[in-house]
Chains A and B, each alone.
Chain A
Amino acid sequence: MIRQPMEVGAVWFHYEPESTVTSHAGVTATTFQGTTSVITARGQYQLEGTRWHLLAKVFSNMASYKADLQSEILIQEVFDNNPKHRSFSWQVLRRAMNIFGAKTYIGETSLTTPHFFLYARRGDKVTWGMLEESHMIVNWSGLDSLEQANIIPTLLSTDNRIVLTHPLSPDKTITPPFSAVAQKILYTKGNANR
């Protein structure tokens, strides 16, 4: 129910089904009513139509688009099977990125990285955009043990990484090592996950 509705309004019905062939860079795909079905060597997957459209526009290397997509799907399946992996809510991520104007996000695949980050990467590999070393958001739970080990020296020597973690567990095993000057800049007790 809409409280205090406006006296004048409009309702816009969009009733024509739209099914279009949206194959791209050697990957067979069909988009129907906002959902894209993608055919890969590992089977059929569905994703938001707008996500498919975004990837077709921003994947950094179109020559390896098909292989990159399959690689991202494999990583995503690992994330989906890891109960400790979390994708933070858009509100939390927007707030974190706006504090220092961060443009880069690390710690998810291209299938779930929010579209409001200009740059996305895993380690030194660009997912979309370009490599740049200014402030960036790091989803700690989205790094595997090797990636965590690789980024630790950077966390200890720089002050431009914004690390998102879950509330500290009693054994603090998920806590990344912070430098002495690190500060807690954001805490949410609300629904912080997607």
Chain B
Amino acid sequence: MLESEEILHTESEKKMPDMRLDGLESIYWPHTESGLMDIHNFPVVIYVTDGLKSNK
């Protein structure tokens, strides 16, 4: 889960993917680049999504 202290205080520009489908998120995610590929319903481990600026 993203809410760990370690991630909250990281200096890395890399954002961990955090796709949820509660509330308005069910409207938002399906129309992102990864959502159009139905990634959120694809039972795999997600290592990257679009928009990452860092390789750290």
Q: In whole angstroms, what is the CA distance A53 to B28 when docked?
A: 7
Which chain A residue lies CB-closest to B31?
A50
- Determine if B52 is an interface residue (Cβ-Cβ < 8 Å): no
Which chain B residue lies CB-closest to A194?
B15
The answer to whether A94 and B28 have CB atoms under 8 Å apart is no
- On whether A58 and B18 interact (CB within 8 A), knowing A12-B37, A91-B7, A191-B10, the answer reads no
Chain B positions 37 through 54: 1 when the CB is less than 8 Å from some CB of chain A, otherwise 0: 101001011010010000
**Stretch of A2-10, A67-75, A147-155 lying at the B interface:** A2-10
**Total number of A-B contacts with CB less than 8 angstroms?**
76
Q: Which of B12, B33, B39, B50 has the most CB of A within 10 A?
A: B33
Count of interface residues, chain B, beta-carbon cutoff 8 Å: 32
Nearest first, the 6 A-B pairs at minimum CB distance are A50-B31, A115-B28, A190-B9, A53-B31, A34-B33, A50-B32
Binding site for A on B (CB under 8 A): 2-3, 7-13, 15, 18, 20, 22-25, 27-33, 35-37, 39, 42, 44-45, 47, 50
